[in-house]
Amino acid sequence: MRRSLLLFALSAAIAPAVIAPAAALAQSSQLSVSGLGIPGRGLSVRSWALGGSAAIFDGESSLNPAALASVPMTTATLTSVEDFRSIESPAGDASTRSVLFPQFAVAGGFRDRPIFLGVNYSSYMVRDYTFGLVDTIVLRDAPVEVGDTFSSRGGLGDIQFGVGYRLGTKWSAGVGVHFITGSNRLTVGRGFGDSSYVGTSQRVETSYSGAGISVGVMGQLARSLGFAAVARTDGHLNVHRGDVDDGSVDLPYSFAAGLGWQPMPKLQLNSQVRASTWSGANSDLLARGEAGAKNTIEASFGGEFVSDPRRPYRRPIRFGVRYATLPFLFGDAANDQPHEVSVSIGSGTRFAEGRAGFDLALERLSRSAGSFSERAWLLVAGVTVRP
């Protein structure tokens, strides 16, 4: 018990520090220039390999606080994502590479009590991009070539404190409190083709803060059929540009439900649907000069095959597919709703008598909005420790 409390206290101290390296190291999608950025995915590596289809049942992911009751012992996990991305746009093609740490979580229960606690950090929004424009302007009655660069680093992190409670042997319920925080550091620079002119640079930092709450349930409808559901509201996001209050942006209500079916001892299948009311932010974003927002939907399906049901973490085969729309409009006229499709595979293993583990997933992601598109290979790795 003392060891569990120490680990929870340590995780609460580490979580804010995890946000900074994630923002500093990531070089994200071209679509992150729109709205608040690209939504994060608070998934364990196992759920990532399953296309997100099992996240609502997974206490090591950050979606459903009721799933904390499924964590067998105090567990700490850290996830990293290496992104190899090719980008196509009317301005040309490019390739990028980035590293992100989108998930850190600690969860565990009390001996002989049906109460489970969890604290985790996950990426809520990522807004990292760099792009340039070349033009010719007239200075002193002569044409001068100029190059403008726009660079943003930052995003929003979601720190969740969750409580799960086991209701008998088949059902559990949970509540999570979310603190949303982060910043964007935008740098705008201009260089001149004529060396007689000196380049300029300007930097602006915007900070954000907000809070939300989630409630969830998880249980067995039948011997081989599981069900889970979660609802969440994030209220509004307070915005400060420098030291100046810059208003707020409404954040969505989210609803998710999932089914888990085990047709045979060696095979587990999962499906999940999630909807978010991002259209509530549309008027706030338009008033700030940003592109608008629409409601989103996400659907995923996946499965896990194990060779020995008594040892399910001994190199299982995991697979998943996923489709999702993104909230912030983009495209040629800034009015297309982006969407993405992905397929994934993965596996994992446990060692040191089950007290440590390593999981790996590989995802192929395709994303598009109008004539803008990108494809990426995501290599997702995670370490699990159970002291």
- To the nearest 10°, report the CA torsion of 332, 334, 335, 336: 60
Are residues 2 and 110 in contact, defined by beta-carbon separation less than 8 angstroms?
Answer: no
pLDDT, position 100: 87
Backbone φ and ψ of 252, nearest 5°: -85, 165
364, pLDDT greater than 70: yes
Q: Which residues pair with 328 in a beta bridge?
A: 293
| pLDDT of 27 higher than 60 | no
Higher-scoring residue by pLDDT: 8, 380: 380
355 pLDDT band, cuts 50/70/90, is confident
Rounded mean pLDDT, 148-160: 88
- Distance in angstroms (rounded) separating the CA atoms of residues 50 and 57: 12
Residues 6+ apart with CB under 8 A from 119: 8, 11, 12, 15, 105, 106, 107, 159, 160, 161, 162
Of the candidate ranges 9-18, 115-124, 335-344, 347-356, the one whose mean pLDDT is the lowest:
9-18
Mean pLDDT check: name the lowest of 4-13, 215-224, 329-338: 4-13
- Tell me what pLDDT residue 82 has: 94
Tens-place pLDDT, residues 94-130: 888 888 899 999 999 888 889 999 999 999 998 888 7
Asked if 258 and 273 touch (Cβ cutoff 8 Å), the reply is: yes
Query: Residue 66: CB partners within 8 Å, gap ≥ 6?
Result: 164, 172, 173, 174, 216, 217, 218, 228, 230
Tell me what the pLDDT averaged over the chain comes to. Answer: 87
H-type alpha helices, the chain:
2-25, 45-49, 282-287
Would the pLDDT of 181 be above 70?
yes
pLDDT at 335 over 80: no
Which of 67-76, 84-93, 228-237, 322-331 is the most confident on average? 228-237
Determine the Cα–Cα distance for residues 344 and 49; give it in Å rounded to an integer: 5
Mean pLDDT of 41-68: 95
**Mean pLDDT for the stretch of residues 71-77:** 90
Residues in CB range of 224: below 8 A, 6 or more apart: 261, 262, 263
Predicted pLDDT of residue 28: 64
**Are the CB atoms for 340 and 297 separated by under 8 Å?**
no
Predicted local distance difference test score (pLDDT) of residue 361: 98
Rounded mean pLDDT of 166-189?
A: 93
d(CA 262, CA 285): 44
Amino acid identity of 139? Answer: L
Rounded average pLDDT over 74-86: 93
Q: How confident is the model at residue 334 (pLDDT cuts 50, 70, 90)?
A: low
Calpha distance 293→145 (Å, rounded): 36
Mean pLDDT in residue range 332-349: 89
- Residue for token digits 């991009």? 129
Mean pLDDT over residues 178-187, rounded? 92
Q: Is the pLDDT of residue 382 over 50?
A: yes
Instruction: State residue 152's pLDDT score.
Output: 83
Distance in angstroms (rounded) separating the CA atoms of residues 385 and 383: 7
- So what's the pLDDT on residue 332? 64
Report the DSSP beta bridge partners of residue 187. 151, 203
**CATH topology assigned to domain 2-385:** Porin (2.40.160)
Residues with Cβ within 8 Å of 352's Cβ and at least 6 positions away in sequence, in order, are none
The model's pTM is 0.85
Residue 333 pLDDT level (bands cut at 50, 70, 90): low
Longest dimension (CA), the chain: 83
Q: Is the pLDDT of residue 322 over 80?
A: yes
Average pLDDT estimate for 234-240 = 94
Which of 39-43, 161-165, 313-317, 380-384 has the lowest average pLDDT?
Answer: 313-317
- Pick the closest to residue 277 from 238, 239, 237, 233 (CA basis): 233
pLDDT at 150 over 90: no
CA distance 362 to 344: 6
Answer for the pair 356, 385: CB distance below 8 angstroms, yes or no: yes
Predicted confidence at residue 112, as pLDDT, reads: 81
